[in-house]
Amino acid sequence: MKHVEGGICAVRGVRANGIKQGKNGLALMVSDAKKLVTTGVFTRNKVIAAPLIITRENLKKKELKAIIANSGCANAFTGEKGIQDAKWMAGLLSTKLQCSPEEIGVASTGVIGRYLDRAWLSGHIDEVYDSLSGSKDASNACARAIMTTDTTMKEVAVELDNGVRIAGIAKGSGMIEPNMGTMLAFLFTDAALSRKALDASLKKAVDKSFNMVVVDGDTSTNDMALLTATVYRECYERTFLEGLDHVCISLSKMIARDGEGATRLIEARVSGAKTVKDARAAAKAIVRSPLVKTAIYGKDPNWGRVVAAAGYSGAEVDQDRISLKFSGNDKEAVLVDSGKIIEGKLDELKSLMESREIVIEVDIGLGENGATAWGCDLTYDYVKINAMYTT
Amino acid sequence: MKHVEGGICAVRGVRANGIKQGKNGLALMVSDAKKLVTTGVFTRNKVIAAPLIITRENLKKKELKAIIANSGCANAFTGEKGIQDAKWMAGLLSTKLQCSPEEIGVASTGVIGRYLDRAWLSGHIDEVYDSLSGSKDASNACARAIMTTDTTMKEVAVELDNGVRIAGIAKGSGMIEPNMGTMLAFLFTDAALSRKALDASLKKAVDKSFNMVVVDGDTSTNDMALLTATVYRECYERTFLEGLDHVCISLSKMIARDGEGATRLIEARVSGAKTVKDARAAAKAIVRSPLVKTAIYGKDPNWGRVVAAAGYSGAEVDQDRISLKFSGNDKEAVLVDSGKIIEGKLDELKSLMESREIVIEVDIGLGENGATAWGCDLTYDYVKINAMYTT
């Protein structure tokens, strides 16, 4: 596997473009291949946004030829009008492509409980559509168009050893604790896989990646990941899954690193759990804990908070078996060994906390199962960004 | 029911005292009545602190004649040495009282993963013990001695119409999402109730009060509520429960209002839920949401975040049935009526958000069950306090 240039346009058959003006953005992704297989995963929030309802329905009937996404308005909690607006968005692009609106995926991100700005979108569709292209810059423009409080564009493309390419763009910075999707991720591959294989691969990859990211613990109404295969190259499912895992985990780490106000990426690796569910619960509790997150921001060697988070996570835990290690900047500090506190390590811990990436390893000591979760520190800027988001 | 002066010493048979020096504190509470009935509830964190293990064991064998509590060190995640330290604390007080150490309750609050400072405690026990008294100031000193990042002392005492008194002190400001107890609450009554009635009353009251408070969503290793009855006055269990509810809810609101860095108390009232469990989950999700909490801090009328939190809470929710109202400063803003957005209310909402107490009412519209939860806003000062807690 190697990284390649070009973002989602590195995948054969994919054209893209986007525009961002102030809070509003419009992104288009069109797959031109003769045969397409597409699948998606959606938020489990019971308040689910209109574009997700429409896209989920469309996926049941058709393969998605193209995706239209806007930023600035989530079109969530907008009732029947929201549904009409989402269909209208699909129509905006299907008219151009001369296909059925049911062949369009629709995505939105932004403020909840506000109606779509149709005027802005219809005023910019021509401009974006007319410059659709398969260039690196086009993927870039598309990835930028879906950003909200994101400070970095999130894009990755790989080529597997068998020549298959897998690429994706994502956005997400706040309201991040995805549950079956991330804020928005659009994934493309030229692999030839059945819908069933594609479905299964996406679910598995998302469970290991986007579903293991926590910025603030708020699960969005608009989380969605869509995967389009342009069916140009044969590929073993197992080989494909390895590549897809890599792409999804890369995007997930970008989201965590770019968490609202974040200065540090936190990776929590839990091992020795009785079940995978336990390992996932403990890893996520650690990166979700406001006390762990603020301690890491302040470089405060308050490691007891990690143990407390594992303890309340719901995972089976025996405090006399836990081991704990922090690492960062190529240094490490072993703080607890099978329940025994290793004293005199606080200065080492404080010093490695200067690192921009902190790895926390917890061995629960009760079994063979592990999981990794990603998060970020909690800073003054998270409060600032979110105290003044809509105004 | 009326409020009375005197804190826990308002209850017949109770003497108290405490001292606070820098981060260290020592509090003593002694119940002198001939007959005592005592009960407690403890954190469900699987990493449970040593003093809780000891107190829970003691309660199985004896009634607790007295309580010794320290602040500054949680004596949590301290293994066998921690157990010995907690027993030593019990012995420190039982020697004075010439009773069994098994008749002593032990509580600790402070940094996790540090050993107890025996020298400081044995250096101050005489001073605190010798001035034990039944005065208002003594209850005060006791309540102050258990404070950590708390900025206000938390104390309440009521007299029921039948003359029974119920009083309590509590501490708690961060690492607050109690699960069967709060950081620390010590409750006293002169009511004559059986242990079974006392147990049942405490569990019910705690479920409606301390278990419905969220400051940051971190469940502590040291949460504990102890209730001592000095058995002087007959009391119907139902009457007693009403009084105990009031005392526990009052203390809970004090904890939420004094959440680390908080400027505002948030009360989330959920009604119309299919089950009580659903109502509780939705109410707690709202006061736990970092996005709701930062919006309230910034007076940002971003009400969609409340709906999103209800949606991911796990409660059964149908977005077309939800109604939403904010109130504060004797003003109210109805934002959603049975799924329909009431437009033009954002200025009203912004203006009432000036209030120091914000009430958020969500009617789920699916059933008859309700619950109320309390929390506070998330501010720069929460980050500041917790980024530099141990250093």
What pLDDT is attached to residue A80? 93
CB contact under 8 A, B319 and A175: no
Pairwise pLDDT comparison (B16 vs B171), residue with the higher score = B16
User: DSSP string covering B222-241, please?
Assistant: --EEEEEEEEEEE--HHHHH
What would the pLDDT profile of B134-186 be if each residue is shown by its tens digit? 999 999 999 999 998 888 888 999 999 999 999 999 888 777 766 545 568 88
Give the rounded percent of residues in chain B with a pLDDT score beyond 70: 97
Residues B334, B280: one domain? Answer: yes
- Gap from A196 CA to chain B (nearest CA, Å): 28
Residue A225: pLDDT band by 50, 70, 90 thresholds?
A: confident
| B345, B331 Cβ separation under 8 angstroms | no
Residues A252, A383: one domain? Answer: no
User: What's the pTM?
Assistant: 0.84
What would the pLDDT profile of A152-186 be if each residue is shown by its tens digit? 888 999 999 999 999 999 888 777 766 544 568 88
Residues A89, A129: one domain? Answer: yes
Pairwise pLDDT comparison (A29 vs B110), residue with the higher score = A29
Q: What is the mean pLDDT of residues A190-209?
A: 90
- Gap from A94 CA to chain B (nearest CA, Å): 29
Residues B82, B208: one domain? Answer: yes
The CATH number given to whatever domain includes residue B355 is 3.10.20.340
Instruction: Tell me, yes or no, whether B214 lies in a domain.
Output: yes
What would the pLDDT profile of B300-340 be if each residue is shown by its tens digit? 999 999 998 999 899 999 999 999 999 999 999 999 999 99
CB contact under 8 A, A312 and B383: no
* Cα(A248)–Cα(A374) distance, integer angstroms: 12
- Taking 70 as the threshold, does the pLDDT of residue A9 lie above it? yes
Give B123's contacts (C-beta < 8 A, 6+ positions apart). none
* Cα(B201)–Cα(B224) distance, integer angstroms: 15
Q: Is the ipTM of this complex over 0.90?
A: no
Q: Catalytic: which of B43, B78, B109, B182?
A: B182
Pairwise pLDDT comparison (B79 vs B121), residue with the higher score = B121
Residues B216, B291: one domain? Answer: no
Instruction: Tell me, yes or no, whether B302 lies in a domain.
Output: yes
Helix (H, G, I), strand (E, B) or coil at A177: coil
User: Chain B 188-227, CB below 8 Å of chain A: which residues?
Assistant: 216-221
Instruction: Tell me, yes or no, whether B171 lies in a domain.
Output: yes
Residues A236, A198: one domain? Answer: yes
Residues A292, A336: one domain? Answer: yes
Instruction: Tell me, yes or no, whether B260 lies in a domain.
Output: no
**Highest mean pLDDT (candidates A381-385, B64-68, B153-157, B200-204):** B64-68
Q: What is the mean pLDDT of residues B183-209?
A: 89
Residue from the list B112, B295, B385 with its beta carbon closest to the beta carbon of A387: B295
Respond yes or no: is residue A182 known to be catalytic: yes
The CATH number given to whatever domain includes residue A209 is 3.60.70.12
Adjacent-strand bridge partners of A106:
A68
Q: What is the mean pLDDT of residues A121-149?
A: 95
The count of domains in chain B is 2
What pLDDT is attached to residue A183? 64
Lowest mean pLDDT among A86-100, A200-214, B13-27: A200-214
What would the pLDDT profile of A270-288 be if each residue is shown by its tens digit? 999 999 999 999 999 999 9
Apex CA B235: angle with CA B232 and CA B239, to 5°? 140
Dihedral pair phi/psi, residue A7, rounded to 5°: 60, -145
* Cβ atoms < 10 Å from Cβ of B83: 16
Residues A190, A269: one domain? Answer: no
- Taking 90 as the threshold, does the pLDDT of residue A106 lie above it? yes
> Which residues constitute the domain of residue A186?
2-257
Residues B183, B286: one domain? Answer: no
CB proximity B148 to A under 8 Å: no
- Domain termination residue (choose one: B228, B255, B282): B255
Residues A126, A245: one domain? Answer: yes
- Domain termination residue (choose one: B255, B274, B295): B255
CB contact under 8 A, B217 and A289: yes
* Cα(B246)–Cα(A140) distance, integer angstroms: 58
- Domain termination residue (choose one: B213, B233, B255): B255
Instruction: Tell me, yes or no, whether B68 lies in a domain.
Output: yes
Residues A202, A303: one domain? Answer: no
What pLDDT is attached to residue B219? 77
Residues A236, A99: one domain? Answer: yes
Dihedral pair phi/psi, residue A294, rounded to 5°: -75, -35
* Cα(B329)–Cα(A266) distance, integer angstroms: 41
Dihedral pair phi/psi, residue A33, rounded to 5°: -65, 155
Instruction: Tell me, yes or no, whether B31 lies in a domain.
Output: yes
Q: Catalytic: which of A39, A148, A182, A219?
A: A182
CB contact under 8 A, A290 and B111: no
What pLDDT is attached to residue B180? 47
What pLDDT is attached to residue A185? 84
